Amino acid sequence: MEITVIVLNKTDKVENTVQSALNLKPKQILIGTYTPIKSKYEVVEFQEKSNYSADLNKLLEMVKSDWVFYIKDNEIIIQMDDLDCLDDKAVYGVQILQDDIIIKESRLWNIKNKIKFKNPIFEKPNMRPTKFLDVILYQEKVNDDRVLKMLEAWKKSNPMMLDPYYYKAFYALGNKNFKEFKSLIIHYLFNSRVNDVSCVIARYYLALVQGLVDGETNEAISNLVLCLAENPLMAEFWCLLGDIFTQTQNFEKAIIFYQNAILLGSRRLKLDEWPMHISKYHEYPTEMIEKCTNITKNTKQYTITQS
Amino acid sequence: MLLTEALYKVVENPTSLQNYKNIKQYFQENGIENIAAAFGYLIETRYGNNSNSIEQDRQG
């Protein structure tokens, strides 16, 4: 099979990405850029950073092979999988490691699938993965100062569209603006007509803010129950239940929820489409069980001494 | 029993064996075998040989 790698140079650090993409033995490498760069691969210069997906779609029109692999300029490939015998109709997802979190995104597909990029700021293919490869990309965190301005422009040009609310909410959360996050994400969840992975994760973060920041325990639990109903093997959800009960000093209940995180989380399929906060599957709940156990033990000893 | 109702019962009483059995049964009946098996694993690990005992559940 022949692969074309496409990458958009947003941060002027595209060289490492291109080097790591050579692991795919690509037939063609297409680099879109906003600043002039020297490269032995095909370079397409774009005028301004206003719509990343539109620019990537222009690169897609120049693809000369049957398969496309998309990689971001802040990513490198750290683990490869066997790419023989791929299914033409499938859209392949890969694992993307961001510090302690693994997310899954569509990155390899056959051009017969006619995939296009959507989302002008946080560009991504317009189809969710239908199969997963054991390929891991490491993604470096970058701060794009233009994000807020681009989000505002996106929201203004598509006032009925919900996606800008979602991304603006998480931008607010990243800046610890919890009030704005809650307001935007509640609007998003209320109006969303689907209940996909993004919605469930949005609800989880809403529960996190409600439970751990605003002390709205009942609201947080209601949202977490809805999350668990979608996927009870997510250790993140059980850990948050544990955290909420730790905060309300119900340590014995908290311990059970942390245990549930370890037991049920260990049964997750390796290559499902859900994100994974790695430490929540063993390290964090184990540490919290020990802390909660020590507190309950000390409290009991104190009670006996007093009587 | 609705799944959310079964999950609320777990939040209320997370040590009750029956609450986990209800969830396992829900996923079994809906053909979601991997999640049913995960709850089977939790039940087996936490309650072991007593997982069929009514007495154990009452204590929970």
**The two three-digit tokens of residue A301, written as one number:** 């000893």
- Could you report the predicted ipTM of this complex, rounded to two decimals? 0.88
Q: Round the average pLDDT of chain A to a whole number and report it.
A: 93
- What pLDDT, in 10s, does the model give residues B37-47? 999 999 999 99
Q: What angle do CA A92, A97, A101 make, to 5 degrees?
A: 115
Q: Residue A151: its pLDDT value, please?
A: 87
State in words which class domain A147-302 has.
mainly alpha
| CB-based contact, A62 to chain B, within 8 Å | no
Task: Give the residue among A230, A216, A290 at the shortest CA–CA distance from A259.
Answer: A290
Positions of E strands within chain A: 3-9, 28-33, 42-45, 67-70, 75-79, 91-98, 101-110, 117-118, 124-125, 131-139, 276-277
Residue A270 has a pLDDT of 78
Spell out, as residue ranges, where chain A has pLDDT lower than 50. Answer: 307
Angstroms from B6 CA to nearest CA on chain A: 9
Q: What token pair was written down for A124?
A: 């991504």
Q: Give residue A155's identity as a one-letter amino acid code.
A: K
Q: Which of the residues A195, A221, A222, A225 would you substitute to probe the B interface, choosing the one with the greatest number of B C-beta atoms within 10 Å?
A: A225
Q: Please check the confidence at residue B56 and state whether its pLDDT lies above 50.
A: no
Paired tokens of A163: 């996606």
Cite the residue boundaries of each domain of chain A with CATH code 1.25.40.10.
Answer: 147-302
First to last CA, chain B: 20
Token pair recorded at residue A216: 């709205």
Q: What is the sign, positive or negative, of the torsion defined by CA atoms of A160, A161, A165, A171?
A: negative
Listed in order, the ranges of chain A carrying CATH 3.90.550.10 are 3-139
Architecture of the structural domain at A3-139: Alpha-Beta Complex (3.90)
Q: B42 and A264 in contact by Cβ < 8 A? A: yes
Cα–Cα separations (whole angstroms), residue A230 to A24, A169, A205, A233, A237:
35, 22, 15, 9, 11
Angstroms from B42 CA to nearest CA on chain A = 6
CA–CA gap between residue A189 and residue A218 (Å, rounded):
18
B55 — pLDDT class (breaks 50, 70, 90): very low
Residue A256, chain B, CB below 8 Å: the answer is yes
Given an 8 Å threshold on Cβ–Cβ distance, is B7 in contact with A225? yes
What is the biggest distance separating any 2 CA atoms in chain B, rounded to whole angstroms?
A: 31
Of A296, A278, A226, A256, the C-alpha closest to A103 is A278
Q: In the structure, what pLDDT confidence band is assigned to residue B59 with cuts at 50, 70 and 90?
A: very low
Is the pTM higher than 0.80? The answer reads yes
